[in-house]
Amino acid sequence: MPQEPALFQGPFPVATQTLSAPGHPKGVDNLWRILRRRWRRCLMVFVLVSLVGVAILLMLPREYTAHTIMAVASRQPDLATTDQVAPPAYPPPPREPDVESDIQLMKTKAALVKIVQDLQLDRDPRFQASVHNWRAGVLALLRQRWRSLTDGDWPGVFAALPERWETIAAAAVDPAADPVELIAESLGKKLKIWTIGRSTTVDIAFTATDPGVAAKVANAVADNYIEARQAARLDQAKAAAKYLKGQSEHLLEQVAAAEKAVEDFRAANILRDSRDIGQLQAEMDATNEKLAGARIAEGVAKTKLQAVEARVKQFGLVGALESGSSRLDDKLREMEASLHAELAGTSIAQGAAHPNALRVEKQYGAAKREVEYEAKARLARLRSDVTVAGKQVELLEAALQGFRVNYDRLSGGLVELRALERRAGVSRTVYEAFLNRLKRTEQVGFNEAAGWVIAPAAAPLTPSSPRVLVALGAILFVAAGAALSFALVSEHKDNGKILSSQHITDRGLKALGIVPDLHHRADSLARLLRFTSDQKPSAFSESIGSIFTSVMELAQRERSSLVLLVTSALPLEGKTTTAIALAAKISSAGKHVLLIDADLRSPRLHRAFGLSPKPGLADCLDPSCDLNEAIHVDERTRISVLTAGSLSSVPQNVLRSQRLAEAMECWKASYDFIVVDSPPVLPISDARILVPLTDYSIFIARWKKTRWTVAAHALSLLGDAGARIAGIVVSKVDIKQLAKYEFADSEVYGRAYSQYLRARRAA
């Protein structure tokens, strides 16, 4: 048994375990390479999308946006509140402006309907289109735009579309729906209102195809808001005035009743003013002072009386006379003392019976009686003073008690009077507040504005939509995105395809090389041989030479003639061209080669060599047919060619015939190489039938066409049939495109090889 090649052991089923699709390229550099190798198609997509976008942009109707700037009185003064009728104890915090409510008032359905009616927009054909469905509206706008660009109606078949679509659109509208309301609804979608900063100023923007209409609607929104708010305020003022008037009349009645109650109370209690109780209070104060003095005097009198009575009790009546109290008392006391001393001296000196002693004694008795009399009189005076002082206190206390009774009576009446006066004052204050508020309410509609227009809208000169620069930027962005997406999607799809021999070797498979695409330049055998010839070096001839070198290595290992099966997974993958080129290369090396067309269903070799298809391989079942005589030798290449022969309805019988197996053994003895151009593996089973008759199989995979899953399935079937895969050839490779990848064989036949060929030819 011949030894298996060292670089590719065993049949394919072992190798299929490592098959997997390559990963996506990573990094900006790889993205650049993706765009670089697909720039033509990306440019085509970019230009196509850009042209479509520009065409749509040109067909879009021009819309104009008019702006009205106005200030809104978002917080109207309250017409009648408790705080304004009676101010609160603490002022309320300031209220933030509520502009959003005013914006919603401007966009209400009733307001929009009034604008439609005032401006008679329901008679405008441009607004009538808005009551139909979107197709009629869009078509009407496009038709208008077409007329503005071409000064004519729709061309050809498109001229009939608007009427048909508008009929369908009109039928889709509810017949019970009010056109004015439908137009108002459409109007609201094109009306935009927003506040400017944190102020109460708003920007009213309306968009329409006619700049004049846009300005009219924007100004109408502002005017309608002002009129509506003014009317609402007047209505509120009337209602508030009616309420305040009724309340004022009721309060006036309350004020009159309160003041009458005050006057009646005063008349009933004989109180003319508040000075009566003041005088009474002054008299009470004076009486209190007198009473205090009287009580002090009474106390002093009692104290003196008690002191005198104590001395009388101790010293007798003489004790009633105090020393230094009066000159008379002092004189009487001195006289008594003098007479008493004189009586004592006379009695001692002359005796008690002496006339002088009697005379002195008589004088002394008279003086003593006078002293006693004076002492008694003094006691009587002191007692009289105490009695008088007590009486005075009693009188003052009685007077004060009378004053107090009168004061209490007057105080109670005064409190009730003050309460009545306060009640009357409060009623009058509330009445005056309501009266003032009534006057303000009657004038509120004329003194305060509901809002005012700062800058009315004018017909815009430039369209707001579409914004050409922004639209062009968006178109270019979308076109660039579409081109990039196309490149990435195409790259993703190519990732599942065979792109290079590196893909093959990375999966543990044998790669025999890559074959450049001739781009239909080898549509005849002569041209194909010219590209294959060594006398005129080319990338194609070098690639076939690389395959031939690998085949020669296998032949040296086998040390016998070699039967090669050239097949592919699907048709049109370049197996016939590769088989002819390989046979020509083998023949040019001086080897005897037999090229067999085993594709009995779609034979092609006889056309390439200009031979008759009969007799051929399909005629081997006929015993009268000599297969050796069916072999033709091409004089240009010295290749022995066996054509397919007659088309057979059952090719499998031909390929499984014993006569073909015997003929194959006979040919192996006569030729160094036998190249079998077989049918594709997947559509039919002919290639698997030929596997036992061959030594090795060369699998052809078309560059950027054959998918890995397809190739894996085909190789698996060949492996199941017992094929030994000599290697895989990547055919129809675009060398320029391959050079834009980062594979190991990307530059094999690239710029460096071209420079090498030019240098060789120059030498």
Domain boundaries, the chain: 12-20+495-762, 28-76+97-230+450-455, 277-413
CA distance 673 to 583: 8
pLDDT of residue 170: 44
Domain formed by 12-20+495-762, architecture: 3-Layer(aba) Sandwich (3.40)
Cis preceding-peptide flag for 97 (omega within 30 of 0): no
CA neighbours closer than 13 Å in the CB half-sphere of residue 722:
7
| CA 113/CA 108 separation, integer angstroms | 9
Q: Which neighbouring-strand residues pair with 640?
A: 594, 633
Separation of alpha carbons 222 and 229, rounded Å: 11
Q: In terms of Cα–Cα distance, which of 3, 8, 2 is closest to 512?
A: 8
Q: In terms of DSSP bridges, do strands 64-72 and 201-208 run parallel, antiparallel, or are they unpaired?
A: antiparallel
- Report the chain's mean pLDDT, rounded to a whole number: 76
Cβ within 8 Å of residue 331, ≥6 positions away: none
In this prediction, the residues of the chain whose per-residue pLDDT falls under 50 are 1-25, 82-86, 90, 94-95, 133-135, 154, 156-173, 271-275, 323-324, 522
The answer to whether 96 and 120 have CB atoms below 8 angstroms apart is no
Q: Which residues contact 599 (CB under 8 A, 6 or more apart)?
A: 576, 644, 677, 678, 679, 686
Q: Which residue in 612, 699, 601 sits closest to 654, CA to CA?
A: 601
Structural contact between residues 381 and 326, judged by C-beta atoms closer than 8 angstroms: no
